Amino acid sequence: MSIQSGQFLYPNVTSVPGQTGVQEGRSTKQEQAVKGEFDQLLDRAIQPGAGGIPNAKDLGQIRAPLKFSAHATQRLNERKIQLDQATMAKVNEAVDKAAAKGLEDTLILTPNSALIVNVGNRTVITAMDRGQLQGNVFTNIDGAVVI
């Protein structure tokens, strides 16, 4: 294939200026047969009722585990803060809710503690006992979830 002077190659464009015989917005059977595996999976996933988009229950099963920074682990030990399995499940749900709202750094208030969590990394940054909260100012957070 040679490109003559004055002709340009336009990648990812269905038609180029002056080209005839191509209808924009319509794909031929031959084009559909050439589609890659990713495109086919994407088409199936975005079709209504196809079941390709996971629901909240499925997302809960595939979410990353919650991690604790070294600083948060130190604070939990120093302040003798205990997080039982039920509380951790609620904290995970709170992080999921914060992620759904597009939050980055969130204050999560549990009945006995306050945790600041980086939602994107799913990492607890620091922890405080609920009794130590009075008079404190929380900075560098963009939301809060009370559980």
Q: Which domains does the chain have, with CATH numbers?
A: 63-146 (3.30.2310)
User: What is d(CA 128, CA 119) in angstroms, rounded to the nearest whole number?
Assistant: 18
Mean pLDDT to the nearest integer, 60-78: 85
Contact indicator for 107, 142 with CB cutoff of 8 Å? no
Strands 105-109 and 143-146: parallel
Give residue-wise pLDDT tens across range 83-102: 999 999 999 999 999 999 99
Residue 54 has pLDDT above 80, yes or no: no
pTM metric for this prediction: 0.58
What's the chain's average pLDDT?
78
Confidence tier at 63 by pLDDT (50, 70, 90): confident
For residue range 103-127, what is the model confidence (pLDDT) as tens digits? 999 999 999 999 999 999 999 999 9
46's tokens: 């975005």
Based on the number of CB atoms within 10 Å of its own CB, is 75 exposed (0-12), middle (13-18) or buried (19 or more)?
buried
* pLDDT attached to residue 9: 55
Q: What is the mean pLDDT of residues 50-77?
A: 72
Neighbours of 140 (CB within 10 A): 8
- 11 pLDDT band, cuts 50/70/90, is low
| pLDDT > 60? residue 29 | no
| CA separation, residue 65 to residues 13, 61, 126 (Å) | 42, 10, 17
**Residue 18 Rama label (left phi>0; alpha psi -120 to 50; beta):** left
